[in-house]
Amino acid sequence: MTRMIDGKSIAEDIYKELKEEVDRLGDKPGLAVVLVGDDPASLVYVRNKERACKRLNLSYRLVRFPSSVSREELKSSIEELNMDKSINGIIVQLPVPEHLDSFEIISSVDPLKDVDGLHPDNMGRLVSGRPRLIPCTPLGIVELIKREGIDVRGKRAVIVGRSNLVGKPLIHLLLSLDATVTVCHSKTTDLKRETSEGDILVVAVGKPRFITKDMVKDGAVVIDVGINRVENKLVGDVDFEGVASITSLITPVPGGVGPMTVAMLMKNLITAYNIQSNKK
Ligand code: NDP
């Protein structure tokens, strides 16, 4: 019998825990979001982050630039935020326009304020088994796995997608939980053979209903990261109706991984605040 993983309700529990933690701080950690251009999806994500900050009584600043902004101007604004004591976390909303090198921009954020966990220092620490700030979506996936009591030790975890944002950091998080990890991508020769082996299957491809029932092991746990808009409806990368009939646990879209990502961003902001306070 399949069961749905209710990411929304788990995220609610996390907000309650974080709210108590923020109340105890007696201070107001601050998030700055740097947004370049006016990509509609980015605007939605940015608004969700603002709402989450309000909920937890955290301060929030949006720093906007037109898509024509120069790398110098953008980097000097990030430098100001790095120096600003009232800002504990900085996010550069991705994607940035083509003329900007996202690696260079992300690398200019103070690694102790890098609440997206994408700075090479933070990525390197994760790979070295000494994580500090961890990318929010993979962190949210692992939190779902833990809170659902899913035992991944010795199990075969298959990840489809190898982006810096999701797939690559998730490899290391699942390895640290003692899973045997396989990563697939667009050049994988027999995707179905790989995905069918997964006791845990995580899909982050960006193609609507890409993973079908015939590609999934009976009784698997399926985590769908995809967010795709199809005929004005949000759908995941997994063909939910078909696949849910054979899984033990599955995340819906919306209401699965998405709410966890924003909750983990808030968690990272508080972690960043604590790291910075201990350094003072
Ligand atoms: P990217 O486009 O950066 O990466 C997609 C990955 O999928 C790549 O590694 C690519 O392979 C792989 N891929 C593409 N086509 C195939 C194929 N035919 N077979 C196997 N693998 C394939 O996407 P992201 O990781 O940023 O995002 C993935 C999805 O997750 C999107 O829908 C995005 O909106 C969603 N997302 C959701 C979040 C949430 O909070 N729920 C947060 C972040 C993302 P290759 O490397 O070879 O090109």
User: Of 100, 119, 96, 117, nearest to 108 (Cα)?
Assistant: 119
Q: Give yes or no: residues 105 and 145 share one domain.
A: no
Q: Give yes or no: residues 140 and 253 share one domain.
A: yes
Q: Give yes or no: residues 153 and 99 share one domain.
A: no
Per-residue three-class SS string for 100-157: CCHHHHHHCCCHHHECCCCCHHHHHHHHCCCCCCCCHHHHHHHHHHHHCCCCCCCCEE
Residue 24 Rama label (left phi>0; alpha psi -120 to 50; beta): alpha
Cβ atoms of 15 and 266 closer than 8 Å: yes
Residue found by looking up tokens 């993979």 in the block: 138
Residue 170: CB within 6 Å of ligand 1? no
Q: How far is the CA of 142 from the centre of ligand 1 (A)?
A: 18
Quick one: pLDDT at residue 2?
Answer: 87
Cβ atoms of 116 and 93 closer than 8 Å: no
Q: Give yes or no: residues 76 and 157 share one domain.
A: no
Quick one: pLDDT at residue 280?
Answer: 64
Task: Determine the Cα–Cα distance for residues 180 and 153; give it in Å rounded to an integer.
Answer: 8
Quick one: pLDDT at residue 1?
Answer: 73
Alpha-carbon 147 to chain mean position: 17
Task: Determine the Cα–Cα distance for residues 53 and 241; give it in Å rounded to an integer.
Answer: 34
Residue found by looking up tokens 């937890």 in the block: 56
Q: Give yes or no: residues 90 and 165 share one domain.
A: no
Cβ atoms of 115 and 90 closer than 8 Å: yes
Cβ atoms of 170 and 134 closer than 8 Å: no
For residue 159, the one-letter residue type is I
Residue 137: CB within 6 Å of ligand 1? yes
Quick one: pLDDT at residue 279?
Answer: 73
Q: Tell me whether residue 49 is one of the annotated catalytic residues.
A: yes
Q: Tell me whether residue 187 is one of the annotated catalytic residues.
A: no
- Specify the pTM: 0.97
CATH (domain of 218): 3.40.50.720
Q: How far is the CA of 180 from the centre of ligand 1 (A)?
A: 21
Q: How far is the CA of 29 from the centre of ligand 1 (A)?
A: 31
Q: Let me know if residue 127 belongs to a domain.
A: no
Nearest ligand 1 atom to alpha carbon 256: 41
Q: Do you find a cis peptide bond into 208, omega within 30 degrees of 0?
A: no
Residue 222: CB within 6 Å of ligand 1? no
Residue 161: CB within 6 Å of ligand 1? yes
Can you give the residue range of the structural domain that contains 224?
Answer: 136-258
Which residue out of 46, 136, 223, 225 has the highest number of ligand 1 atoms within 8 Å of its CB and is therefore the one to mutate?
225
Give the phi and the psi of residue 143 in degrees, each rounded to 5: -65, -40
Helix, strand, coil percent values for the chain (each to nearest 5): 45, 20, 40
Residue minimizing CA distance to atom 48 of ligand 1: 186
Q: Let me know if residue 19 belongs to a domain.
A: no
Nearest ligand 1 atom to alpha carbon 205: 7
Cβ atoms of 46 and 92 closer than 8 Å: no
Residue 162: CB within 6 Å of ligand 1? yes
Q: How far is the CA of 186 from the centre of ligand 1 (A)?
A: 10
65 membership: H or E segment, kind and range = strand 59-65
205 membership: H or E segment, kind and range = none
| Average pLDDT, 10 consecutive residues per value, the chain (280 residues) | 94 98 95 97 96 98 98 98 98 97 98 98 98 98 98 98 98 98 98 98 98 98 97 96 98 98 98 90
Q: Give yes or no: residues 187 and 246 share one domain.
A: yes
Q: Give yes or no: residues 149 and 230 share one domain.
A: yes
Give the phi and the psi of residue 3 in degrees, each rounded to 5: -130, 145
CA dihedral (241, 247, 249, 252) in degrees, to 10, reads -20
Q: Tell me whether residue 276 is one of the annotated catalytic residues.
A: no
User: Of 42, 36, 98, nearest to 73 (Cα)?
Assistant: 36
Q: Let me know if residue 15 belongs to a domain.
A: no
